[in-house]
Amino acid sequence: MQANFEKEEREQDALSVGAEFFGKFASGEGDLSSTYKARLKQKLREKKCDQATSRNRPD
């Protein structure tokens, strides 16, 4: 019985084993992998701008 279980376990591919986890935290946006660089650059620009304005504020 144990040998049969181990054989079935080995025959499963990665997709079927992890299917319950894939897409669990989906954003609903299908283009994230192709637009990540532009999104990252935009976030860094915004952060830099926020830091610059906070330095120029009088206390």
| Positive or negative: CA dihedral 32, 35, 37, 38 | negative
Going along the chain, which residue ranges are E strands? Answer: none
pTM, whole model, 2 decimals?
A: 0.44
**Series of mean pLDDT values for 10-residue runs along the chain (59 residues):** 65 84 77 88 92 74
Measured between alpha carbons, how far is 42 from 38 in angstroms, rounded to an integer?
A: 6
Place of tokens 């990540």: 36
Nearest alpha carbon to residue 27 among 19, 35, 38: 35
